[in-house]
Amino acid sequence: MSHSLDVIQRLQSPTGAYPASPTFSAYRGYSWLRDGAFIAEGVSRHGDAAGADAFHTWCARVIGDRAGQVDSLVSRAGRGEPVSPAEMLPTRFTLDGVDGDVDWWDFQLDGYGTWLWALREHSFRQGRAVPGVEKGVRTAARYLTSFWEMPCYDWWEEHVEQRHVATLGAVHAGLRAAIALGVLSGPESAAAGRAVEGIAALVAAEGLVGGRLTKWLGSDAVDASLLACVEPFGLYAADHPVGAATVAEVERQLAVDGGVYRYLADTFYGGGRWVLLAGFLGWNHARAGRREEALRYLDWMAAQATAEGDLPEQVSDRLLAPERLQEWLDRWGTVATPLLWSHGMYLILADELGVRA
């Protein structure tokens, strides 16, 4: 526990950005909004208000700096002109806040929503605003309000042609958070509110099968990222039949002995069990009052640490597609370790269960 806090604090860049993983070849030097938002939530819950402030200030700056790009995209879309995924805001930034120069699966809306959600959580926990974030919040909210209906890459940076339910859940939570932060203009707030209603209606109409959420609109598969649509994003509450059925089905299909797969067809590094997803499932159990189950996931997460205490992205002992492991080892090297998002989720679940450093 104290190691998780220490790893994150030690590796936070002086700019405020959290690197996804300091040494992993494909992630080195980059910060993701999605990973960072959950990492910031973890440290905020364990007393590191300054670290979370620095991350949120960094996000607000990098997003606010792109207000011109967002306004031009919004006006073009408003005139009915097509905008392409390649023109949208990036998924990840260098630690200095610059768009990377390496090709990436670079159109993902969820991180912008997740950042707004985490900023609101942190601000309300602290009982004060993070200074200087208004422009970034308004820019992110305008961006999401205009483009939430577009297909984009999902949490796993796949399937750009689909509309992913976990992404819609993140945008729903992010726009509600932006409204709650109280910095949007009247028209921005009203438009964000209409988008929130539109997302809920679209998911209810096209994102459900058998009373539970689906991986993307029109699919019948599940994906562990859907856990976040219940806790923490609250698209469906834990005690709503859809929320309860979604968590139960993800656990039934994807959880094995405390670890959680991303989705059944996963082949990335052979498709292992992800430490951070055990965190999401535990978080859902904890919020639904199932403390023993939640503790089981926390214990499994801790048991995946290396001798130094570092948590990996995924563990490779019980793979869904073992024949696909070697190609990733050859391409990118050993699994990302430490993955700061894994440590952030450990901190969140520990806090939910009252386990302190």
Residue nearest to ligand BGC (CB): 20
Amino acid at 156: W
| Cβ proximity of 69 and 89 under 8 Å | yes
Distance CA 243, CA 207 (A): 13
Beta carbon nearer to ligand BGC, 298 or 339: 339
Task: Give yes or no: 206 in active site.
Answer: no
Task: Please identify, using beta-carbon distances, which residue of 65 and 157 lies nearer to ligand BGC.
Answer: 157
Q: Is residue 154 annotated as part of the catalytic site, yes or no?
A: yes
Chain mean position to CA 240: 22
CB of 100 to ligand BGC, least distance (A): 12
CB of 194 to ligand BGC, least distance (A): 29
For ligand BGC, give the closer residue by CB, 76 or 332: 332
Six-digit token pair at 81? 């002109």
C-beta of 283 vs 341, nearer to ligand BGC? 341
Minimum distance, C-beta of residue 341 to ligand BGC, in the bound complex (Å) = 6
Q: Which is nearer to ligand BGC, 34 or 296 (CB)?
A: 34
Listed in sequence order, the residues at least 6 apart from 100 whose beta carbon sits closer than 8 Å to its beta carbon are 30, 90, 92, 93, 94
**CB burial string 60-84: b at 16+ within 10 A, e below:** bbbbbebbeebeebbeeeeeeeeee
CA distance 62 to 60: 6
Q: Name 208's bridge partners.
A: 213
Per annotation, catalytic residue among 65, 71, 99, 157 = 157
Least Cβ distance, residue 269 to ligand BGC (angstroms): 9
- Rounded Cα gap, residues 212 and 244, in angstroms: 8
Output 145 or 337, the one with its CB closest to ligand BGC.
337
* Least distance (Å) between residue 215 CB and ligand BGC: 14
Token pair for 295: 């503790």
Contacts of 252 (CB under 8 A, 6+ apart): none
What is the rounded distance in angstroms from the CA atom of residue 47 to the CA atom of residue 159?
A: 38
State the minimum distance, in angstroms, from the CB of residue 27 to ligand BGC: 5
N- to C-terminal Cα separation, the chain: 6
Query: Closest separation between CB of residue 267 and ligand BGC, Å?
Result: 12
The two three-digit tokens of residue 87, written as one number: 């023109």
Asked whether the beta carbons of 336 and 28 are under 8 A apart, the reply is: no
- Asked, as a colleague might, if the bond just before 232 is cis with ω within 30 of 0, I would say yes
Residue ranges in contact with ligand BGC by CB under 6 A: 20, 27, 32, 34-35, 155-157, 339, 341
Q: Is 313 one of the annotated active-site residues of the chain?
A: yes
DSSP 193-252: HHHHHHHHHHHHHHSEETTEE-SBTT-----GGGHHHHTTT-SS-TTSHHHHHHHHHHHH
Single out the catalytic residue among 249, 313, 351, 352: 313
Name the active-site residue from 35, 41, 53, 154.
154
The nearer residue to ligand BGC, 195 or 335, going by C-beta atoms, is 335
| Residues belonging to the active site | 154, 157, 313
